[in-house]
Structure 1
Amino acid sequence: MTTGTPPPTKTARPRRSRVLRFLPLGLVAWLVLEIWLLTVVAGASSGLVVFLLLVGGLVLGSLVIKRAGRRAFKNLSEALRQQQSGIAPAPDSGGGSALTMLGGLLLILPGLISDGLGLLLLVPPLQKVLSRSAERAFERKVRAAAAAAPGGFGDAFQQSRIHRPDGKVVQGEVIRDDDQPPPQQPDAGGPQLPR
């Protein structure tokens, strides 16, 4: 006997992105390639050379991360000092501290491919290109989120980046009077204030 209601359907699981689907396979392939390359270098020279390469990468990566961390802390404290003294903070000169730290981390990881990638991330022109492309990708994601849900975080981010015609960014805050109750009208029969 039917009641007229359709049978319940299974809810579809959200699809994983292609990157998340193949990330574990990529990590395993990278690990196997690193081990194979280390054995090839050890066979061509000796195990001591491989050990010295790994220790050298560890030491160099530690120094790079330490230097980038100090530079980032110095820039932060300088910006805070300028802000407290009322001076407009100088625009960021593209220090690339995050990419420098990532390069140092890749140098610390054992393996020759990660060392090569870490050394590439320490090249300033490549850092600028990667930084600009990451910023554009972030802005695209924020615009897509703003289009999907109007009135959310994306709109606030977009509004905070309003530029004046001369290219300067105008910092501001939007205050709405929607939350305040409307002013009450005095009753015609009640006491009135003198005019």
Structure 2
Amino acid sequence: MTTGAPPPPPSTRSRPGTLRRLFPLALAAWFVLEVWLLTLVAGAAGGFAVFLLLVAGVVLGSVVIKAAGRRAFKHLSEAVQQAQSGAAPLSAPRPGEGSGLVMLAGLLLIVPGLISDAVGLLLLLPPIRKGVGRWTERTLERRMSAAAPGSLGGAFQQARMRYPDGKVVPGEVVREEEGPTGDPQGPRPPLTP
């Protein structure tokens, strides 16, 4: 028995990317590996040693995040002071010199587990942090330049366009459609009550 109704239109949503599909699986595998390594260390060195390792990771991670936050606040206050005095603005930090990766390293140290601690400690090393920073910047720039003009990446690219005098001129052309009387959208209410 058919009703004669047309079939529903095919979905226009794109399928999630491979990374989005594999992320939960990778997160679960990482969790299982962290627990397995902690049980191996607990079997070899004892439960108290594992407890001390986890507490040391939390304390070290907290210290790292606090120091990175202070440095970021110091740079922000210096930039505000220079902007108020009319001096030339500070140059942007080079990849790996910002506080973001240091804060990520501190967060990884706080997360319980030996693998996350090892990755956090590696991110504290300046050469590795600079390499990760450069790789991240190149990847983001490549994805932004490959983005469609109407997407968020296109908006970021347009926002980065600068004119010779150094001023950024954001803008958008908005065309109003004319109503049936010829007036654009008819009469408008006043802006103030």
TM-score range with shorter-chain normalisation?
0.7 to 0.9
Deviations 1:3-31 (A, max 9, x none): xx993244224201111111111111111
Cα separation, 1, equivalents of 2:93 and 2:157: 23
Structure number with greater Rg is 1
Q: What's the counterpart of residue 48 of structure 2?
A: 48
Calculate the TM-score normalised by the size of structure 1: 0.76
Asked whether the equivalents of residues 147 and 153 of structure 2 are also in contact (C-alpha less than 8 Å), the reply is yes
CA distance in 2, matches of 1:6, 1:169: 61
State the match for 2:10 in structure 1: 11
Structure 1 position 67, deviation (Å): 0.3
| Pair 1:114 & 2:110 matched | no
Percent of matched pairs sharing the same residue: 54
Which residue number corresponds to residue 67 of structure 1?
Answer: 67
Q: CA deviation at 1:113?
A: 0.5
Q: Given the superposition, is the C-alpha separation of residues 58 and 175 from structure 1 closer, same or farther in structure 2, using an over 3 Å criterion?
A: closer
- Report the Cα distance in structure 2 between the residues aligned to 1:177 and 1:21, rounded to whole angstroms: 38
Gaps of 5+ in 1: 180-195
2:92 is aligned with 1:92: yes
State the Cα RMSD in Å: 2.9
The two structures have a TM-score, normalised by structure 2, of 0.76
Give 1:126's aligned residue. 128
Q: Distance in 2 between matches of 1:18 and 1:111?
A: 26
Q: Is the 8 A contact 1:57 1:107 kept in 2?
A: yes
Deviations 1:131-185 (A, max 9, x none): 12212222222222244x3xx6555543454578xxx983332678998xxxxxx
Q: For residue 77 of structure 1, what is the aligned residue in structure 2?
A: 77
Instruction: Report if aligned partners of 1:34, 1:112 keep a CA contact under 8 Å in 2.
Output: yes
Q: Which amino acid in structure 1 is aligned with residue 120 of structure 2?
A: G
Give the deviation of 1:79 after TM superposition. 0.6
Between 56-65 and 81-90, the greater mean CA deviation after superposition:
81-90
Contact 1:100 1:122 in 2 (8 A): yes
- Within 5 A, what are the aligned runs for 1:167-186? 170-173=166-169
Q: Is the 8 A contact 1:161 1:169 kept in 2?
A: no
Unaligned ranges ≥5, structure 2 = 176-193
Letter in 2 for 1:138: L
- Name whichever of 19-28 and 68-77 sits farther off: 19-28
Change (3 A) 1:154 1:33: closer
In 2, Cα distance between the equivalents of 1:31 and 1:53? 17
Whole-Å separation in 1 of the counterparts to 2:172 and 2:103: 42
